Structure 1
Amino acid sequence: MSARRGPVTRLGAHLHAQALHYLLFAYRGGQTLRRHAAPGSPRWPAFGLAGAEVALTVDDGPHPQWTPALLDLLDRHRVRATFFLIGDRVREHPDLARRVLAAGHLIGNHSRSHPQPFAALSRPAIVAEIAQTQRDIEDATGVSPRLFRAPGGNWSPTVLRTVAELGLTPVDWTVNPSDWRRPGVARIARTLSRTRPGQIMLCHDGGGDRSQTVAALAEVLPGLTARGLRFVTVPAHVTPRPRRVGEGP
């Protein structure tokens, strides 16, 4: 009997995580239309910023080709971004993690291996994914991240509670050009160009060919800055009773 429970339990967790994913998808759509997106709290993701600035966030790196290309582009336009790094890739390319930090950007935690749906993982697995990445980034850069983004934006009460207990701020997004799908430079640029004050932009520098992302940002950044938008890194909330990284659930 107990042998049969495992697959059934995992299927239930998967379906629950998918249901939450679609609910959040609808919620993000509402945030995009709001005049001011929700800045979040220690137990709820930040979908926007409290001020009138904008934040560019970059997921899934570091990557040996696309991260340097993006860093060079951001430097030319004097834009500071928030990079959500994957632990496995930080271990492969610790020099790139250090380069991101040295360029003045902020580093966040994006899990160890980017499993999906993230919310379907057990609590110990969620803790392990986040805590190991904290250690990987600390080992590579000497800095402990204060921000966490769930792979695919796949949140749940368990994920959010665990993130808070580890002393991290959960961060989502407002503007999503789906650049990971490689829909074309024009489509990515069109979506990003609609960014309004207080919004968080989502882009990627890992997980595949990101030439379209780099090209689209090269088109969009001058226009956004010409509109007077000021780029900032995502702020971290002060979370209560942070748990030490590696401490058990």
Structure 2
Amino acid sequence: MKNDEPTVGRRVLLRTAVFLGVAAAAGLVTSGGEGLPGTPAPGSGPAAGPGPNPAAGAPGALSRGLPEKAYRLRPMTAEAPARPPAVKPAVRTRPIESLPTDPGTAGADAMVLTFDDGPDPRYTPGILDVLARYGVRAVFFVCGEMADENRDLLRRMVAEGHVIGNHTWTHPLIPKLSRPALVSEIGRTSDVVRQAVGEAPVWFRAPYGAWNRAAFEIGAELGMEPLAWTVDSLDWTEPGTTAIVSRILKGAAPGVVVLSHDAGGDRSQSVRAISSYLPQLLARGYRMTLPVLPTAQPG
């Protein structure tokens, strides 16, 4: 072997080392990870592809068995966007009193019959019988204390296609109640209806038509729209069957909401009256319908 062969070999090794050093500095060569905890020995697994160095804590380190910082293992709840607050129902400043009456709308030839204060087993079944005879549906604004004792009548109402509304628990004068008392009056009634028929009321009516801000707010919070009336039959005064019939027929008009009662006193006149005025209204071309929840912005 010639004397200069070792020298040439050393020169090749030095050039190779310099090249590798420059390449490593330029990022062209990466470490195989040998000696790091949990890293497979060479040849024991698939070759690592190009990408960030796992040893630097980059994504993918955990899947390769490298230790991850604890904060990377916890959900970033502090960084997550906050959930938007629940949107409260719009609160009305006055109740709905009639149906839309523009030509072509559902209320153009329609009226709504409503009955308050029940259900009463002495009178409500008679009214339901007349409604069923003519295939008509109505709205029954029930008082919780009556509904609680007559849940079978609530179930009959729903089975026959009628709508149940909330008329408070004891029929109080709302403006004289504290807010907690009013919450109880309205909330308990909705609870009883929901327990009996599976759904809470979506309509609310203030006893005596005595509304206040709290009634609108609480009703809205429970998902109910306030419905008043256009024509008061005054049947609660027990004026006689003829007077009740006359008043309703005189007030009949497109979009009208009629107020009658099926409890709260002797309502035998109300039962006889509906047997008379209902077929007359139908003969005049009116349709007895149910109110539809409005889609327009409440006012």
- How does the TM-score come out when normalised to structure 2? 0.64
Inter-partner Cα distance in structure 1 for 2:155 and 2:92: 27
Q: CA RMSD in A?
A: 1.6
Q: How does 1:222-237 map to 2 (within 5 A)?
A: 222-237=279-294
**Structure 1 stretches of 5 or more lacking a match?**
1-40, 241-249
| Matching residue of 1:133 | 189
SS in 1 for 2:258: strand
The CA deviation at 1:239 is 9.7
| Matching residue of 2:75 | none
SS in 2 for 1:202: strand
Which of 192, 203, 225 is 2:260 aligned to?
203
Inter-partner Cα distance in structure 1 for 2:224 and 2:216: 9
Which of 116, 136, 144 is 1:79 aligned to?
136
Inter-partner Cα distance in structure 1 for 2:119 and 2:132: 17
Inter-partner Cα distance in structure 1 for 2:182 and 2:155: 25
| Matching residue of 1:46 | 96
Inter-partner Cα distance in structure 2 for 1:62 and 1:237: 27
The CA deviation at 1:236 is 2.4
The CA deviation at 1:103 is 1.0
Is the Cα contact below 8 Å between 1:168 and 1:239 reproduced in 2? no
Is the Cα contact below 8 Å between 1:111 and 1:151 reproduced in 2? yes
Q: Which has the larger radius of gyration?
A: 2
Is the Cα contact below 8 Å between 1:174 and 1:201 reproduced in 2? yes
Which of 113, 116, 121 is 1:64 aligned to?
121
| Matching residue of 1:100 | 157
1:186 and 2:236 correspond: no
Aligned-partner residue type, residue 255 of structure 2: G
| Matching residue of 2:64 | none
Describe the superposition over 1:155-188 as per-residue Cα deviations: whole angstroms up to 9, x where unpaired: 0122222222222100100000110110111110
Q: How many residues align?
A: 199
Is the Cα contact below 8 Å between 1:203 and 1:213 reproduced in 2? yes
Aligned-partner residue type, residue 236 of structure 1: L
Aligned-partner residue type, residue 217 of structure 2: R
Inter-partner Cα distance in structure 2 for 1:232 and 1:217: 15
- How does the TM-score come out when normalised to structure 1? 0.77
Is the Cα contact below 8 Å between 1:42 and 1:237 reproduced in 2? no
The CA deviation at 1:212 is 0.5
Aligned-partner residue type, residue 47 of structure 1: E
The CA deviation at 1:43 is 4.0
**Structure 2 stretches of 5 or more lacking a match?**
1-90, 101-106
| Matching residue of 2:226 | 170
Describe the superposition over 1:23-61 as per-residue Cα deviations: whole angstroms up to 9, x where unpaired: xxxxxxxxxxxxxxxxxx844211100122100001011
Higher RCO (Cα < 8 Å, 6 or more apart)? 1
| Matching residue of 1:122 | 178
In structure 2, relative to structure 1, the CA distance for the partners of 1:144 and 1:202 (3 Å cut) is same
| Matching residue of 1:215 | 272
Identity of aligned residues (%): 44
The runs of at least 4 consecutive aligned structure 1 residues that moved more than 6 Å come to none
Inter-partner Cα distance in structure 1 for 2:94 and 2:291: 15
